[in-house]
């Protein structure tokens, strides 16, 4: 199965994608994670992408599309994929249709006013890359799953979050209409408990 998770930053795409990709047996491919590790490893893509991530702006399509094309050519993506954070522009969606068109697109919907607190309270595990919200942690610094150290993403600060939300509305939201037109869109309410969102996603894929 070839699947896309769409939705604003903070909708829970990453968390849900981890569970759903394991359930379906397809690789979870997050362009945000790929950029962050490219930055850490100082690859040419990472060096190019860093200024955009720091600002909360989209990395240019040419860079992003080339990176995803290479990733999708790898062996583990032969039987499908779950893309999280790509496509984010109509041009990226058109490119993906040429590389390997998705079967379904899940739009995880969360109202804007909920996103800011979700993102400012988000903590990431440096070891297992799990994502957590401070409101659910007993220890703000330690991963409840693997014991690794938790950190806050540098783009999870209010100014950068506003820029990311603007980029979402301007560039990514039009994809809802694009995939609706192709009959591939499935909408899920992301403003509820994690387990309920997970169940709703699986139900919509049946
Ligand atoms: P979130 O969905 O929480 O905003 P991501 O980890 O998906 O976070 O993305 C972080 C950043 O990586 C984005 O703000 C953007 O700079 C860059 N990025 C990720 N995916 C794409 C994409 N498909 N196109 C352009 N930039 C991207
Ligand atoms: Zn961890």
* Side-chain half-sphere CA neighbours of 129 within 13 A: 11
Show me where the domains of the chain are located.
Answer: 2-26+79-205
- Assess whether the C-beta atom of 118 lies below 6 angstroms from ligand 1: no
Q: Which atom of ligand 1 is nearest to the CA of 35?
A: 12
Q: Please give the number of the atom of ligand 1 that sits closest to the Cα of 164.
A: 14
Specify the pTM.
0.92
pLDDT digits (tens, 9 = 90+) for 160-169: 999 999 999 9
Q: Which residues pair with 186 in a beta bridge?
A: 106
Rg (CA), the chain: 16
Spatial separation of the C-alpha atoms in residues 87 and 184, rounded to whole Å:
14
Report residue 129's pLDDT band, with 50, 70 and 90 as the boundaries: confident
Question: Could you tell me the distance, in angstroms and rounded to a whole number, from the CA of residue 131 to the centre of ligand 2?
Answer: 8
Has 123 been annotated as catalytic? no
Nearest ligand to the C-alpha of residue 17?
1
Which residue(s) pair with 185 in the sheet?
Answer: 105
| CA atoms of 131 and 23, how far apart (whole Å) | 18
85 close to ligand 1 (CB < 6 Angstrom): yes
Q: Compute the Cα dihedral for 177, 61, 47, 127 and give only its sign.
A: positive
pLDDT 10s digits, 167-187? 999 999 999 999 999 999 999
Euclidean distance between CA atoms 74 and 55, whole angstroms: 30
Cα(59) to ligand 1 centroid in Å equals: 8
CA dist., res. 7 & res. 84, Å (int) = 9
Task: Say if ligand 1 is within 6 A of residue 7 CB.
Answer: no
Locate all alpha helices (DSSP H) within 25-168, ordered by sequence. 31-40, 44-55, 61-72, 90-100, 112-120, 158-167
**Which three-class secondary structure state does DSSP give residue 198?**
helix
Residue 119 Cα: closest atom of ligand 1? 3
Query: What fold does the segment set 2-26+79-205 form as a domain?
Result: Rossmann fold (3.40.50)
pLDDT (mean) for 35-41: 95
């Amino acid at each position: 199965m070839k699947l896309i998770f769409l939705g604003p930053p903070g909708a829970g795409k990453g968390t849900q994608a981890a569970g759903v990709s394991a359930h379906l047996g397809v690789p979870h491919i997050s362009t945000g994670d790929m950029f962050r590790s490219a930055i850490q490893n100082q690859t040419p893509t990472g060096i190019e992408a860093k200024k955009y991530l720091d600002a909360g702006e989209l990395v240019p399509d040419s860079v992003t599309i080339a990176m995803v094309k290479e990733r999708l050519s790898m062996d583990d993506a032969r039987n499908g994929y779950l893309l999280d954070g790509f496509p984010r522009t109509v041009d990226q969606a058109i490119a993906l249709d040429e590389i390997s068109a998705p079967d379904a697109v899940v739009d995880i919907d969360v109202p804007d006013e909920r996103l800011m607190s979700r993102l400012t309270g988000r903590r990431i595990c440096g070891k297992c890359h799990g994502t957590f919200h401070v409101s659910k942690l007993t220890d703000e610094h330690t991963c409840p799953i693997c014991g690794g150290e938790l950190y806050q993403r540098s783009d999870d600060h209010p100014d950068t979050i506003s820029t990311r939300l603007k980029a979402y509305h301007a560039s990514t939201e039009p994809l809802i209409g694009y995939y609706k037109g192709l009959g591939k869109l499935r909408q899920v309410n992301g403003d509820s408990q994690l387990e309920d969102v997970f169940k709703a996603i699986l139900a919509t894929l049946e």
